[in-house]
C-alpha cells in the first residue's frame, strides 16, 4: 500500500495543524455500501450544523430574558459533540463497513445508541441545559414569541436529526445481521489486533500484476460481504 496523506478535516494549508484522518468513500468503501456511508456522514454534518444553530437559538433565548448559562452550555455542546461524534461513531462505522469488522460494528452500536439517547434528551429541551428543545421553546413563547421562533427552528431540526439517527441505527443493524457478524468475531479481532487497521488483501497477485494494476489497492477484503437486506432507504 502506498502512503497516503490524511485529508480530514480539511484545513487551510497555512495552518501548522494537519488533518488527523484519511477519508475517501469512493476508494475505501465497497460500492454497494457507499451511499449508506455518505448518508451517515451527511447525518453527522447535519447534527454538527444543528449544534451551531442551537448556539444562535440560545443567544436569542438569552437576549430575550433567558439565562446566560444556556449560551455557555450550547458552546460546550458544540465544541464537545461535533468532533466527538465524528470520532466515536462515524469513524467506527466507516471502518466497520470498509473492512467488514465486527469489533467496529459493536463499537458503533454501543456509542451510537448512547448518541440517540443524548439526542432524545436534547429534543426535550430541559431548561438551563443549553439546548433549545421542545419544553424550553414552548414555555418561552409566552415571554417572547420572536426568540421562541428562532428556538423552534433548532428544535425542529433536532427532532429531524434524532429521527434519522434511529433510522440509521435500524438500517446498520440489519446490514450487520446480514453480514454474519457476531460477538465471537469481535472478540477475535480484539485478540489479534486486526480491529485497529483494515485487513490487507491476500497476496493473490504477483508483483508484476500489482505493478500493472497500479500503486495501491483499496483497504477492504477482496470478497465484499453479501448482505441480506439491500433495500433502498
The 10 Å Cβ neighbour count of residue 179 is: 20
Check residues 212 and 13 and name the one with the higher pLDDT: 13
Q: List the one residue out of 165, 71, 171 whose CA is nearest residue 119.
A: 165
Q: CA angle 171-174-175, nearest 5°?
A: 85
Helix (H) or strand (E) holding 104: helix 102-124
Q: What percent of the chain has pLDDT over 90?
A: 54
Q: How confident is the model at residue 20 (pLDDT cuts 50, 70, 90)?
A: confident
pLDDT score for 180: 60
Domain borders along the chain are 31-192
- 25 within 8 A of 90, measured Cβ to Cβ: no
The answer to whether the bond into 9 is cis (omega within 30° of 0) is: yes
Check residues 170 and 18 and name the one with the higher pLDDT: 170
Q: How confident is the model at residue 18 (pLDDT cuts 50, 70, 90)?
A: confident
Q: What percent of the chain has pLDDT over 70?
A: 75
Torsion angles phi and psi, residue 8, rounded to 5: -140, 135
Average pLDDT over residues 72-83: 94
User: What would the pLDDT profile of 121-153 be if each residue is shown by its tens digit?
Assistant: 999 999 889 999 999 999 999 889 999 999 999
Torsion angles phi and psi, residue 21, rounded to 5: -130, 155
Q: Is the pTM above the cut of 0.75?
A: yes
pLDDT score for 16: 81
pLDDT score for 200: 35
Task: Look at residue 19 and tell me whether its pLDDT is greater than 50.
Answer: yes
User: What would the pLDDT profile of 66-77 be if each residue is shown by its tens digit?
Assistant: 888 999 999 999
Check residues 111 and 13 and name the one with the higher pLDDT: 111
Task: Look at residue 201 and tell me whether its pLDDT is greater than 80.
Answer: no
Q: How far apart are CA 232 and CA 218, in angstroms?
A: 25
User: Residue 217, Cα to own-chain centre: how many angstroms?
Assistant: 25
Q: List the one residue out of 186, 176, 124, 177 whose CA is nearest residue 155.
A: 124
pLDDT score for 207: 34
- 171 within 8 A of 36, measured Cβ to Cβ: yes
Q: How confident is the model at residue 181 (pLDDT cuts 50, 70, 90)?
A: low
Cell of 19: 488533518
Amino acid at each position: 500500500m502506498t502512503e497516503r496523506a490524511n485529508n480530514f478535516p480539511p484545513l487551510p494549508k497555512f495552518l501548522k495543524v494537519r488533518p488527523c484522518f484519511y477519508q475517501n468513500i469512493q476508494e475505501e468503501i465497497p460500492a454497494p455500501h457507499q451511499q449508506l456511508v455518505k448518508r451517515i456522514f451527511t447525518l453527522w454534518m447535519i447534527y454538527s450544523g444543528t449544534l451551531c444553530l442551537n448556539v444562535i437559538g440560545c443567544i436569542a433565548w438569552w437576549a430575550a430574558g433567558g439565562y446566560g448559562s444556556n449560551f455557555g452550555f450550547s458552546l460546550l455542546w458544540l465544541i464537545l459533540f461535533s468532533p466527538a461524534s465524528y470520532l466515536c461513531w462515524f469513524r467506527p462505522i466507516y471502518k466497520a463497513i470498509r473492512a467488514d469488522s465486527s469489533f467496529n460494528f459493536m463499537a458503533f452500536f454501543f456509542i451510537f445508541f448512547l448518541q440517540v439517547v443524548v439526542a432524545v434528551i436534547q429534543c426535550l429541551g430541559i431548561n438551563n441545559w443549553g439546548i433549545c428543545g421542545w419544553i424550553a421553546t414552548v414555555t418561552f413563547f409566552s415571554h417572547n414569541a420572536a426568540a421562541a421562533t428562532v428556538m423552534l427552528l433548532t428544535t425542529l431540526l433536532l427532532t429531524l436529526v434524532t429521527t434519522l439517527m434511529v433510522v440509521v441505527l435500524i438500517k446498520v443493524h440489519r446490514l450487520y445481521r446480514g453480514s454474519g457478524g457476531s460477538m465471537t468475531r469481535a472478540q477475535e479481532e480484539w485478540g489479534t489486533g486486526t480491529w485497529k487497521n483494515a485487513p490487507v488483501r491476500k497476496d493473490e497477485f504477483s508483483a508484476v500484476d500489482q505493478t500493472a494494476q497500479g500503486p495501491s489497492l483499496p483497504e477492504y477484503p477482496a470478497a465484499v460481504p453479501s448482505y441480506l437486506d439491500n433495500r433502498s432507504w
